Amino acid sequence: MKLLIDILGWSGSGLIILAYALTLIENKKYLDYGKYLNLLGGLLIAINCYYYNAIPPFVTNLLWSVIATLTIYKSRNKKEKCNKTKCLT
């Protein structure tokens, strides 16, 4: 079980680093992927921290995931609104 938790934690770290790298690419298509990578990465690290009873980083990564979720929700609402009004942005 410990090995699985370690793999999840390292995978989460990798996903968050990849998400950050995607923000450096000047293509909006990749920014959408970054939001989901941040969400999943934060959750995986939070699982790892919870297992090891590391509460401060657990809370930090849980909040990181909540922020990513809110960002995804906000961008979806914006897309739906633009689809109804035919936005060009």
Token duo for residue 12: 């989460």
Note the pLDDT tens digit of each residue in 37-73.
999 999 999 999 999 999 999 999 999 999 999 999 9
Which pLDDT value is given to residue 9?
A: 97
Which pLDDT value is given to residue 3?
A: 98
CB-CB contact of 49 with 79 (8 Å): no
Please state the domain extents for the chain.
Answer: 1-87
Burial class of residue 85 in the structure, from the number of CB atoms within 10 Å of its CB (0-12 exposed, 13-18 middle, 19+ buried): exposed
Which pLDDT value is given to residue 87?
A: 64
Which pLDDT value is given to residue 18?
A: 95
Which pLDDT value is given to residue 75?
A: 85
Mean pLDDT computed over 9-15: 97
